[in-house]
Amino acid sequence: MKNNHLKSVRLQLGLTQKQVAQLLGMKIEDRLSHWEKGSATSSVQNLYKLAQLCQVKIEDLLS
């Protein structure tokens, strides 16, 4: 999932990758970096958490 939208929403919220990773219960923020770059995919559960955190629809994260 290449997601420049995820990065822009994260930045609009004023959150670092580390902060988002912690809010999602992830041990390392590298995974979030890979999601934003499109070099890794997220589970449905994490997509749901991300959508809630960013206050957007899951579909918006995938577009």
| CA nearest neighbour of 54 among 1, 15, 28 | 15
Residue 1 above 60 pLDDT?
Answer: no
Give the predicted TM-score (pTM) of the model. Answer: 0.74
| CA atoms of 16 and 22, how far apart (whole Å) | 10
Which domain CATH number covers 30? 1.10.260.40
| CA atoms of 29 and 16, how far apart (whole Å) | 9
Q: Containing domain of residue 54, as a range?
A: 4-62
| CA atoms of 61 and 12, how far apart (whole Å) | 14
Give the model's pLDDT for residue 28: 78
How many domains in the chain? 1
**Segment 14-63, tens digit of pLDDT:** 999 999 989 888 877 778 888 888 888 788 888 898 889 888 888 877 77
- Residue carrying structure tokens 């999932």: 1
Banded pLDDT at 3 (limits 50, 70, 90): low
